[in-house]
Amino acid sequence: MSTLKDVAVLANVSPITVSRVINTPDLVKPGTRLKVQKAMDQLQYSPNIPAKNLVTKRSGIINVYIPENMDLSNPFSMHFIAGVSQGLGENMYSFLLLRDRKIETACDGYIVTGLEHREIYEFDDFARKRNRPIVLFGHTDIEAIDCIDIDNVAGAFMATEYLIRNGHRKIAMINVNENRDYVTDRLNGYRKALDAYDIPYRKKRVIYADNNIHGGIKAVEQLLESDRPTAIFCATDTMAIGVSRALSDAGLKIPEDISLIGYDGLGHQLLITPHLTTIRQPVIQAGRLMAETLLQRLQGNPADRIVRMICPELLEGDSVAAI
């Protein structure tokens, strides 16, 4: 079995340098770090993680909090966990998935998603008392919290503008009935697109529903009772599945009678016939970036707060027709 000294000899560096590469890599020049890493790979050397954690006074564990009301089988949750796992695993960190934030466990910091506005302040207070950093999937004005988010305003603007450019002016929106930032952001993006093209905003064309298939079904029933739109923008692909089903049951075809566009692009768009045009949010990339951001914070670098917005992209399917 190879030792730290064997790695040092092969890389032609001191054992202290090898130790720094393992424990505090940011203090080592990139060229030297790469040389040591190649030697470790060649010798199949595995660092003593418990010893490393003892030196750095860390547990080597990150708590990833996803609230109980978020379904872990949902594509968003699965992509999010995959991204976080990649970012932490590559840096020899493990994570514990928490569903109840009141549970007390040893950890070095928190990666959190799915918080309502009030809960963000509560979680910040919880973490401050334990002197642990937070990286939030979302955005907040709390200076102590690093934030990684999808630009939901831009994504919703993109979806609505796509419908407008296909000739639609009677565009309804089905939004999620939750008190979360992404809900407000997607509504703001929808409204900004209408305003940019001088289309009046009609409050009655915005329906709030549960973020599931049944929620989409109920929302369509409500929309069809009033002035029928020519297009519907769903704030999630999950609700769009319900919309598609309800429109079919009502004898309406997509996109001949009503065009439909969703938001997420994480696989559910392929469950609809015709395939759903949607806005893809790169959740794996976001999860990975959150992990990397938290590890940077634990290493004391950078000093300034990190706030990153990731731009989504339009995935064209067959659910939107020009009029």
Q: What is the DSSP string of 231-250?
A: EEEESSHHHHHHHHHHHHHT
**pLDDT at position 187, please?**
98
Angle at 208 between CA 261 and CA 68, to 5 degrees: 95
**pLDDT at position 28, please?**
83
**pLDDT at position 206, please?**
97
CA distance 7 to 23: 15
The Cα-based distances of 138 to 75, 105, 151, 169, 189 in angstroms read: 18, 24, 9, 31, 16
The full set of domains in the chain, from first to last, is 1-34 (no CATH), 61-150+283-311 (3.40.50.2300), 152-281 (3.40.50.2300)
pTM: 0.80
Q: What are phi and psi of 140, to 5 degrees?
A: -155, 160
**pLDDT at position 56, please?**
53
**pLDDT at position 57, please?**
57
Which residue numbers in the chain have pLDDT < 70?
Answer: 26, 48-58, 302
Per the DSSP assignment, residues forming a β-bridge with 278 are 262, 315
Alpha-carbon dihedral of residues 84, 86, 91, 95, nearest 10 degrees? 40
**pLDDT at position 49, please?**
54
**pLDDT at position 137, please?**
96
